[in-house]
Amino acid sequence: MEAFTTHTGRAVPLRRSNVDTDQIIPAHWLKKVTRDGFEDGLFEAWRKDPEFVLNKPEYQGATVLVAGPDFGTGSSREHAVWALQNYGFKAVISSRFADIFRGNSLKNGLLTVVLEQDVVDRLWALVEADPTAEITVDLQERQVRAEGVTADFELDENSRWRLLNGLDDISITLQNEGDIATYEAGRPAFKPRTVQV
């Protein structure tokens, strides 16, 4: 996983709540068997509207997405995270994320930052008034900074450590091989098995 320490970039204001993962990446894109090449599928239906915020020239090249509440609801498709990253986003800010989407994002180094809605409102106002305004998402300090806005955010220490160091979860887990083997040895015989091995 790519490490995340701090990022500064321009931001896109996405004033919509309940942005589900079907909007982020429609199902027909899920037939791909790679982790890349999803950028053109990002918000595919909404991008057909020339007025959609991602189509506006002033927001080209932005790397921070500032979205409404309940971002990433619905399907567990990790393709939604890949699509955002493939497009160029490094961080997403919202007042509430769906659990599975958030878990997926943190496993891929896309930082999802939870801020109070009034802070999100101020960030929207800022980047709408001045699309060149930059937002800094600082994972070291767990802080978001922009002109007139300084807001701390929470992220559990373990997730932060993994992100800062770009650690591979599977390698960390396999360091506990002994614990897994001990647990397996103590499982009851009645537990279901899919095949006899």
Partner 1 sequence: MGRTLAEKVWDDHVVRHADGEPDLLFIDLHLLHEVTSPQAFDGLRKSGRQVRRLDLTIATEDHNTPTLDIDKPIADPVSRAQLETLRKNCADFGVRLHPLGDVEQGVVHVVGPQLGLTQPGTTVVCGDSHTSTHGAFGALAFGIGTSQVEHVLATQTLPMARPRTMAITVDGELPDGVTAKDLILAIIAKIGTGGGQGYVLEYRGSAIEKLSMEARMTICNMSIEAGARAGMIAPDETTFEYIEGRPHAPQGEDWDAAVAYWKTLRSDEDAVFDAEVVIDADSLSPFVTWGTNPGQGAPLSAQVPDPASYEDASERYAAEKALEYMGLTAGQPLRDIKVDTVFVGSCTNGRIEDLRAAAAIVEGRKVADGVRMLVVPGSARVGLQAVDEGLDTVFKQAGAEWRHAGCSMCLGMNPDQLAPGERSASTSNRNFEGRQGKGGRTHLVSPQVAAATAVLGHLASPADLSDADARTPAGV
CB of 17 to partner 1, least distance (A): 5
Q: Which is nearer to partner 1, 34 or 132 (CB)?
A: 34
CB of 119 to partner 1, least distance (A): 14
CB of 186 to partner 1, least distance (A): 10
The residue assigned the tokens 């930052």 is 113
Question: Between vectors from CA 81 to CA 88 and to CA 134, what angle results, nearest 5°?
Answer: 40
CA separation for the pair 194, 197 (Å, rounded) = 9
Q: Which is nearer to partner 1, 63 or 95 (CB)?
A: 95
Q: Which is nearer to partner 1, 27 or 150 (CB)?
A: 27
The residue assigned the tokens 């996405």 is 14
CB of 134 to partner 1, least distance (A): 25
**Distances from the Cα of 81 to the Cαs of 111, 123, 155, in angstroms?**
10, 22, 18
CB of 166 to partner 1, least distance (A): 13
Q: What are phi and psi of 25, to 5 degrees?
A: -150, 110
Residues that bind partner 1 (CB under 8 A): 15-18, 20, 22-23, 26-28, 30-35, 45, 68-70, 73-79, 81, 96, 98-100, 103-104, 107-108, 117, 156-158, 169-170, 172-174, 176, 179-180, 183-184, 187-197
Are 93 and 64 contacting, i.e. CB atoms less than 8 angstroms apart? yes
Helix axes 79-87, 99-108, angle to 10 degrees: 50
Q: Which is nearer to partner 1, 16 or 145 (CB)?
A: 16
Q: What is the DSSP string of 112-130?
A: EEE--HHHHHHHHHHHHH-
Q: Which is nearer to partner 1, 100 or 164 (CB)?
A: 100
Q: Which is nearer to partner 1, 25 or 134 (CB)?
A: 25
CB of 167 to partner 1, least distance (A): 11
